[in-house]
Structures are given as C-alpha cells and as structure tokens.
Structure 1
Amino acid sequence: MHWILLSAGIAIEILATASLKLSDGFTKISFAGLTLICFAAAFYVMSLVVRTMPLGVAYSVWAGGGIAGVTLLGTMAFGQKLDGFAYLGIGLILTGVVVLNALSTSAGS
C-alpha cells in the first residue's frame, strides 16, 4: 500500500511543480492556489508513507521520481530542451530507484 501512496505523492508533487511554473511567480492566483494545495497534499501523502517505509528509502524514491517526472514534463509540456547528458542523468536516477527496489532489503514490502 505504501508504494501506491508514494506513487500518488510523486504524481501530486509533479503537478504542484508544474503549477508553480504556470503561476508565473505566484502572479496567477489560480495556479498559485493549486501549487499550495498540491504541495500540501503531497507532503500529507508522504507523511503516511513514512509510517511504514524507511525514511531514507521513501525520500530517495520520492526525489528520484520527482526529478525524472518534472524533467520529462518540462520537455513535453514546456518545450524545454535536454541534451544527452540530461537523459543519461535521468536514466541513472531511475536505475538507482530500480536497484533500490529490486535488490535492497531496506525498501520493505
């Protein structure tokens, strides 16, 4: 169950970060409000996750998933350009998350 919650929290955080970009420095009130609501919801979900998952594992998956998701969203939704090293870095982050989940006993079930 904590993996589902963690995935939902990451998705909410990605939405919050996209809304932050769209808020134009908090000058667009609807996106500013959505940003605050989504970040609050994401942190609440994360608080539920760390009840049953080790903090370091939860945070590393959270951060890795968020970094990869926001970077990919930036390329698809905001037309940001990435070079090969950026894609390599995202691939390494995702590889680390996979290794952590597939091979480490620290991740829990």
Structure 2
Amino acid sequence: MSWLYLAAAILFEIIGTVAMKLSQGFTKGIPSILMVVFYILAFACLNFSLRAVPVSVAYAIWSGVGTAAIAVIGYFAFKESLTVMKISGIFLIILGVVLLNVNAGQSQEQGGSQETHLKS
C-alpha cells in the first residue's frame, strides 16, 4: 500500500506543478487553488508512503520521477525545449532512482535495518 501512496504522491505533485505553471504567478485563481490542493495531497500521500518505504528512497523517487515527468510534460504541453542536456539529466535521475532502489533492496536482504545503518 505504501508504494501506491508514493505513486499517488508523484501523480499529485505532477498535477500540482502543471497547475503552478498554469496559475501564471498566482494570477489565475482556479489553477492557483488546484496547485495548493494537489501539493497538499502530494505531501500527505508521501507522508503515508513513509510508513514502509525508506525516506531516502521515497523522496528520491518522488522528486526524481516528478522532475523527469515535468520535463517531458513541459516539452509536449508547454513547448519548452528538450535539449541533450535535459535528456541526459532525465537519464541520470532515472539511473539514480534505480541505484537507490537496488541499494535499498540489498540492505533489506542483508537483514540491516534503517536504525543500524544510521548508527554506523
């Protein structure tokens, strides 16, 4: 269930960020309200996901996937540029998320707890 909360947090963060763009600096009322609502939902779901997902993994996935998705949405919806540098950055974000998940999986297989890793 925690992973579903994380997925919802990512979706809500993406919607909130699109609403932020559409709010044009808080000059448009409905997108401004939607931005606030969706960011509150995003943080609530992120918080619920932390019951079982390590914070380092959850936050990296939440921010990384959200950032990559917004870059792609910006290109298609808002006609923003998608340069080789941006594509490379998106690739590195995805690579970082994968590496964090592999590392988290190895830590759990070794029987290590978060508390043990924090103390050492």
Output the TM-score relative to the length of structure 2: 0.83
C-alpha root-mean-square deviation of aligned residues, in Å? 1.6
* Identical-residue share of aligned pairs (%): 37
Report the equivalent of 1:15.
Answer: 15
Report the equivalent of 2:77.
Answer: 77
* Structure 1 unaligned spans of 5+: none
Residue 71 to residue 106, structure 1, CA distance change in 2 (3 Å): farther
Q: Contact 1:10/1:62 (CA < 8 Å) preserved in 2?
A: yes
Mapping of residues 21-60 of structure 1, within 5 Å: 21-60=21-60
Q: Contact 1:13/1:39 (CA < 8 Å) preserved in 2?
A: yes
Structure number with the bigger relative contact order (C-alpha 8 A, sep ≥ 6) is 1
Residue 107 to residue 19, structure 1, CA distance change in 2 (3 Å): farther
Aligned partners of 1:24 and 1:87: how far apart in 2? 26
* Structure 2 unaligned spans of 5+: 109-120
Higher Cα Rg: structure 1 or 2? 2
Once superposed, which parts of structure 1, at least 4 consecutive aligned residues long, lie more than 6 Å away? Answer: none
Aligned partners of 1:65 and 1:87: how far apart in 2? 13
* Aligned pairs, number: 108
Q: Contact 1:57/1:106 (CA < 8 Å) preserved in 2?
A: no
Output the TM-score relative to the length of structure 1: 0.90
Q: Give per-residue Cα distances to partners, 1:40-73, cap 9 Å, x unaligned.
A: 0001101101121111111111111111011111
Q: Contact 2:57/2:104 (CA < 8 Å) preserved in 1?
A: no
